[in-house]
Amino acid sequence: MSDAPAEDALPTRTWDGLPVAPDDPRGAQIVVRRPAGPDGADVEYLMLHRAVHGPGYEGDWAWTPPSGARLPGEPILAGAERELAEEAGLRGVSLHPADLSGPWAVFAADVPPDTQVTLDAEHDRFAWLRRDEAAHRCLPAPVAVTFRIAAALPAPPVTFRPLAASDLPDLVAWMHAPHAVRWFYEDLDLAAAERKYQPRIDGSSPVHVHVILIGGRACGFIQHYPVREIPGYLPAPGEPDGVGIDYLIGVEALAGRGLGPQLIWSYLTDVVFAARPDVRRVVASPEVANRRSIRALEKAGFRPDREIAGAAPGRPELLCVLDRRRVFG
């Protein structure tokens, strides 16, 4: 990451005549959804219609979710929150990432059914629409593609609790699940897990482990630790004050459904940053072959840095780094 060009050395980009961030993502789209129907089982999505501002905007095509450019030096999350407030009057809404890895960040947000929308001068009307109708109105085509991806993501509540000794049988089972076992070079049985994890449970280890609960169901674990306190693990010379994370969704039915970025993001905001308010960088190093884990990190705002030696011989890892100021401010 040290060889990236300085921000002021990059060409100036503009959006509607205003300067925008010189690095990707250049802006954000926020897919806002609310429960609908008599029992709240259906979902509607907020779509804004752009008012006519010169040639090319006439007609009924200009429907998009709330979206806009990121200003120079503006954190990714702050830019998305600002656009949502400016365009729809929505403030204090919790955003979670659908994909922050491309030229345009995509967030999702869930709001109550009675949420009030206040438009800015750039838009002349809004509508709450079912997913297919909203996607049909989205133009240009790339906006419709990213809208569908974000709209399809599940949105169960994700919470965490400290690992307890009673969780160790589940932890061993999660590690041995068919979709997960290849990523664990230690073949732990219950006795070995007790020896390894009891110090993390009783607080004598610098590694803090939490159980992941998705919709209230315990389904995996996630942990964080100060990089400098883990013997032999200094993956980036410039990150000795950083925090490392590892994670696993151990229930196969819940893996591969797009929950990874949301649980990583929630763990950082709810646990890591609360425990370590001054941390500036977070690192993770899944195996290079673990593309699913790497994509989850990229979508949550991490950037791949370089390959490093893995914990097991012949199994290199990819160092991924999240710059807290760039993403969260």
Q: What is the pLDDT of residues 84-141, one digit of tens each?
A: 999 999 999 999 999 999 999 999 999 999 999 999 998 999 999 999 999 998 878 8
Q: Does 174 have pLDDT greater than 90?
A: yes
Does residue 162 have a cis peptide bond before it, meaning omega lies within 30 degrees of 0?
no
Q: What is the pLDDT of residues 72-92, one digit of tens each?
A: 999 999 999 999 999 999 999
Q: Does 4 have pLDDT greater than 50?
A: no
Question: How far is residue 19's CA from residue 132's CA, in Å, rounded to a whole number?
Answer: 34
Q: Do 209 and 182 touch, CB atoms closer than 8 A? A: no
Q: Do 64 and 91 touch, CB atoms closer than 8 A? A: no
Q: What is the mean pLDDT of residues 232-239?
A: 60
Give me the residue label for tokens 């990213």.
146
Note the pLDDT of residue 18. Answer: 61
Lowest mean pLDDT among 1-10, 16-25, 206-215, 308-317: 1-10
pTM over 0.85: yes
Domains, the chain, in order of start with CATH, read: 7-151 (3.90.79.10), 158-327 (3.40.630.30)
